[in-house]
Amino acid sequence: MIDWSTRLFQFTSEDSKIPHDVTFKIEGENNDPRIPQEVKAHKMILSMASPVFMKMFYVSDTLDKSAQQIVVMQTTVDAFRIMVHAIYNSTPLEESLKDKSVEEMFLVLDLVMKYQIPELTLAARECLTVVPLTEDTVLEVAKDADQYSTVFEEEAKEVLLQCAKFLQQK
C-alpha cells in the first residue's frame, strides 16, 4: 500500500514539485495585515477530503472550477491554514490547536463544518473538550465560548461547563 500521508506532506511546501493550483485569499477583520493572507493548495487534494470542495472544483458549473484564487470571508488565515495542513496530514489538527485560543478553535470548527470534513470536525470538537485552563485564562475562555454559543451551542456549553468546574475547584 502507498503511504499517502507522507506523500501528501511534500505538497504543502511552497516549492512543491507539483505546483498549487488554487490560492485562498482570506479576508476578515481578525487578520494581521503584516502576515500574507493567502493559503495555497491543490484542488484535487482538497476535493478528496471535502464534498464541498469537490462540488466547487469538479461538479458544479461555477466560476470556482477555473478560479485560481478564491476569497474566503469571516475566518483567519491561521484557522484556514490549520484546516489545510490537517487535510494534507502535515500537522494533525489536535497538534495545531494545542496552544490556540478558544476563539481560534471555534474558527477552525466552523471551517471544517462548512467544508463538511467529518474527521476534522470530530477532532476540533474533541480539542474543545480539553481546553487548558488557568486562573488567568478561565474568564476569557468562558467569554469566548459564550460568544460562540448561538452558533455552536453544544460545544460552547461544554467549554463553559469546563470553566465552571475549574472555578468550582478553586
Residue 60 banded pLDDT, cuts 50, 70, 90: confident
Exposed, middle or buried by CB within 10 Å (0-12, 13-18, 19+), for 120?
A: buried
Residue 47 to residue 118: CA distance in whole angstroms: 14
pLDDT of residue 147: 95
Q: What is the pTM of this model?
A: 0.88
Residue 104 banded pLDDT, cuts 50, 70, 90: very high
Exposed, middle or buried by CB within 10 Å (0-12, 13-18, 19+), for 87?
A: buried
Per-residue pLDDT of 10-58, as tens digits, reads 776 666 778 889 999 998 766 666 666 899 999 999 999 999 999 999 9
Q: Which three cell numbers stand for residue 133?
A: 485552563
pLDDT of residue 127: 95
Name the average pLDDT for the chain.
89
Give the range with max mean pLDDT: 9-18, 35-44, 58-67, 120-129. 120-129
Cβ contact 34:54 at 8 Å: no
